[in-house]
Amino acid sequence: MDIKITDNHIHVDHINGEGPVKVAEKFHRAGGRRMIIPNKPTWTIQKPSQFKEAMDLVIEYARMINSQTKVEAYPIVGVHPAELSRLIESGESINEAEKLVKEGLEYAQWLVLEGEAIGIGEIGRPHYPVEKSEWEAHNRILSYALELAKEADCPVQLHTESSTPRQFQEFSKMAEKASMKKYKVIKHFSGPYVSESENYGLTPSLIASRDVIKKGLEKGGNFLMETDYLDDLSRPGAVLGPKTVPRRTREFIQKGLMSLEDAYKIHEENIERVYSLV
């Protein structure tokens, strides 16, 4: 099967996990060919670190995978929404914390413009409750990130609360306000909201569980697949293991639940369109 099976959101971590090369080799042995890798948050680096260090690290990880394995790796860079919460918890005012996060996102945009990364992410809103003032700051940051992505003509990967069509509609309106191409706004860790009436033109990146992928395929092939693998030895296999996307794809093809045309659309056409890969 000559299809570039792609995991759209997979982490690698040489500090807390097995590291980029070992993870990529496992992925490749299972049939995977392409990985989209977001940087992990600053607190996963075993020293006080800045946003720049976390982003630079994932770019180096991608270089290692591309030079030492047969997998194609592409980094995306951003500031996880939990970073804002941590800054506030450490004593920063909301205004100062917001300013610092926006500066981090400007660096992410610069990396994209320099050709070091192919998108901005994961960015968005927390999946846990916060005060109204912090929630409003997250929304301002998300809108700013969309504006930066529009200027760079690159996609964004959203990390948000569990989202239903109501949230997709909200994010779609944010994209419209930023004049952002909606299909370049990717909802990471999405449920099976594949039809446009549910996702409002955004691109859902479905978590590759059997149930979610099966339900997604019933509505078409307009989605990406991901594991959100953490590469953390203290949480082995979380969220899903690095072999899951290729194995799930092959399993569904063998069972007749996914056609070769579906697989090609999900792993090649959709990925290359969203990320402007050739």
Q: What pLDDT shows up at residue 138?
A: 98
Read off the amino acid at residue 208.
A
Distance separating alpha carbons of residues 160 and 167, to the nearest angstrom? 9
Q: What pLDDT shows up at residue 209?
A: 98
Give the pLDDT confidence of 105-148 residue by residue, as tens digits.
999 999 999 999 999 999 999 999 999 999 999 999 999 999 99
Tell me which CATH code domain 6-275 carries: 3.20.20.140
Q: What distances in angstroms separate CA 146 from CA 48, 53, 118, 143, 264, one per listed residue?
A: 28, 22, 14, 5, 28
Per domain, the residue ranges of the chain are 6-275
Quickly state the pLDDT bin for 69 (edges 50, 70, 90).
very high
Is the pLDDT assigned to residue 260 strictly greater than 80?
yes
Rounded to an integer, the average pLDDT of 36-62 is 96
Is the pLDDT assigned to residue 48 strictly greater than 90?
no
Cα R_g (the chain), whole angstroms? 18
Q: What pLDDT shows up at residue 47?
A: 86
Is the pLDDT assigned to residue 166 strictly greater than 90?
yes
Give the pLDDT confidence of 197-256 residue by residue, as tens digits.
999 999 999 999 999 999 999 999 999 999 999 999 999 999 999 999 999 999 999 999
Q: What pLDDT shows up at residue 8?
A: 99
C-beta separation of 145 from 160 below 8 A: no
